[in-house]
Amino acid sequence: MENLAEAVMTAEGEQAPQNPTKTRVLLIGGAAPPGAKIADFLRERCEVVEVQSVLRAMVRLANQPFDAIVVGSDQVAEALKLGSLLQHERILQGMPDGLVVLDADNLVIWGNERIREWFHRPAVAGEDFYKILGSPDILGPDFSPFRTALATGRASTSKVRTADNRYFQLHAAPVYEAQDRTSHLVVTVRDVTKETLQNQKLAAIHQAGIALTDLKPQDLLDMSVQDRIELLKSNILHYTKDLLKFDVVEIRLLDPQTGKLEPLLEVGMLPEAASRVLYARPQGNGVTGFVAATGKSYLCEDTTQDPLYLQGASGAKSSLTVPLTNNDQVIGTFNVESPNAHAFSESDLQFLEIFTRDLAIALNTLDLLAAEKATSTLASVEAIHSAVALPIDEILNDSVNIMERYIGHDPDVVQRLQRILRHARDIKQVIQKVGQKMAPAKALPQPSRDGGHVLLQGSQVLVVDADESVRVAAHSLLERFGCNVETAHDGAEALCMVRNLGGARYQCIIADIRLPDVSGYDLLCRLKELMDPLPLVLMTGFGYDPGHSIVRARQAGLQAVLYKPFRLDQLLETVERMVQPGEAKG
């Protein structure tokens, strides 16, 4: 540093030493006067490495030693940023995400340790970034994120998939340099492989439900009970292996009379394990018996150290077992095993629980169908609706409540919950259609066949009542005429459901005048903040109007009132007036 100081002083007219020691100097910019004069003088006396930008200087400093840095006047402001960046380089190197700085040609100027580790590169500077990733598939939403960020001056995001089936989220932000030029990008790289594969698992739920309707109604009617069971088993096995990537699977169903866990499906299990007699008991029946008895999932991370584990698959080192539950009742178990220890994570556990919850509904529906003859009547269809509707409503209620708590904290969690909501609604409709297809045409409700109540077909209806019998009746009465019915226990749940209908809206909301947490009038006021117009119908008994809630609600714009007990035709007429566009309501 003393030699450099003497050299600079000489450039300003002072005497230089006779034998200056060579000093390594990093020169940033300095081409314009008066910096050019100093730069020429330094080249004669020092080992000078010249770069034209602060970003290039950062790369040099990260890889080479220098005794001093000389900054041209036009680069001073950027150099101050460099000082701050270098101060935090250790933090950048230790980030859990990858970080690179790119030029306009997508060449890496600088990359942190995470990038080198992920892609097994001793160094990345000077390489094409896409080649480092192995020329990945760009999945969007922006199919040219770097070009977009440079052209618009705004950050751009996209997801890519590499040849080895890894997924990365890229976030490219432009770097503003002198005269507000944007010729460089700072790109953060996040490994989202685990999350993406989990979402693919969740998609299997939706696909499995759709697969149930692949056959024509007459084909289903001609199938025996055993044929229907084999069809469902085939679908379960297909999606479990191809999408969930589980190669060893065992499903057992609980006999509520004996407590015995009867084998339904197994792949990859030892013959003696598959035929083993197990009961829903916490001891002496392995992990499967424990899960069936307690209703709690069990993650066995190392089978050699777990006293509950009974050998299932040959060489299995870890297992994951979850209960199949319907209406909070255990109806069976779902077990997967792996030859690797610690093969399953808590995340695998959570998503398998979601998968099996909907699978249990499908199995329960199959059980109902197996009990019916080919000449199923309207009563069988309604039984399927009743068995499916309330459990799905519970999933919807739980999901929207969790979503409300997570909003603003973790967008990924919100997106997953939104997918759960969408898939749960899809599955309910699919299973209901299966039930309708199972029944002959003469068993279907006459109004839906002769064109009556056409306006109700596909209409979204929300029924809010603390009385379970009312919620069950709403499904039974309205779904036979084509309504998509969802229910809520109280006003708070109703508001959550309205806020999270996935871009759609309820065409009719029927609520009791006295809910556990709010009055009918208070619910109307809160819903008006979310919906306009508000298709609300209040239910009340004749002469029962605490606090004149009906009067106040009418003054605030209440659309209609149903007085209990009401006839089916009154209910249908009221809902039709709510869903019919442009129709006067009252």
Q: List, for residues 109-157, the tens digit of each pLDDT value.
A: 878 888 888 888 888 888 889 998 888 889 888 888 888 888 888 889 9
**CATH topology assigned to domain 92-191:** Beta-Lactamase (3.30.450)
Kindly report the number of other CB atoms within 10 A of residue 12's CB atom: 10
In which element (H, E) is residue 401 found?
Answer: helix 378-406
Q: Could you tell me if 374 and 217 are in contact, meaning their C-beta atoms sit under 8 angstroms apart? A: no
**CATH topology assigned to domain 451-586:** Rossmann fold (3.40.50)
Q: Could you tell me if 192 and 159 are in contact, meaning their C-beta atoms sit under 8 angstroms apart? A: yes
Model-level pTM? Answer: 0.39
The β-bridge partners of 464 are 488, 511
pLDDT tens for 85-121 read 555 555 566 667 888 888 888 888 878 888 888 888 8
The answer on pLDDT for 471 being more than 60 is yes
394 or 498: which leads in pLDDT: 498
Q: Residue 406 burial by CB count (10 A; 0-12/13-18/19+): exposed, middle or buried?
A: middle
Q: Residue 310 burial by CB count (10 A; 0-12/13-18/19+): exposed, middle or buried?
A: middle
- Average of pLDDT values for 315-339? 91
The answer on pLDDT for 281 being more than 90 is yes
296 or 89: which leads in pLDDT: 296
Dmax (CA) of the chain: 111
440 three-state secondary structure: coil
Q: Could you tell me if 250 and 261 are in contact, meaning their C-beta atoms sit under 8 angstroms apart? A: no
Residues 6+ apart with CB under 8 A from 96: 114
Residues 6+ apart with CB under 8 A from 309: 286, 287, 300, 303, 319
The β-bridge partners of 480 are none
29-33, 66-70, 382-386, 441-445: least confidently modelled range:
441-445
Tokens 């020329």, located at residue: 135
Q: Residue 317 burial by CB count (10 A; 0-12/13-18/19+): exposed, middle or buried?
A: middle
pLDDT of res. 395: 78
pLDDT band of 83, cuts 50, 70, 90: low
pLDDT of res. 286: 94
395 or 83: which leads in pLDDT: 395
Task: Report the C-alpha gap between 66 and 64 in whole angstroms.
Answer: 7
pLDDT of res. 282: 93
pLDDT of res. 440: 46
464 or 113: which leads in pLDDT: 464
Contacts 24+ apart (CB under 8 A), 577-586: 578/507, 578/508, 578/535, 578/537, 579/455, 579/456, 579/459, 579/507, 579/508, 579/535, 580/455, 585/535, 585/559, 585/560, 586/559, 586/560
- Average of pLDDT values for 374-384? 49
Task: Report the C-alpha gap between 502 and 414 in whole angstroms.
Answer: 12
The answer on pLDDT for 45 being more than 50 is yes
pLDDT tens for 515-551 read 998 988 899 999 999 888 889 999 887 655 666 778 8
Q: What is the mean pLDDT of the chain?
A: 76
Domain residue ranges of the chain, discontinuous segments joined by +: 2-87, 92-191, 451-586
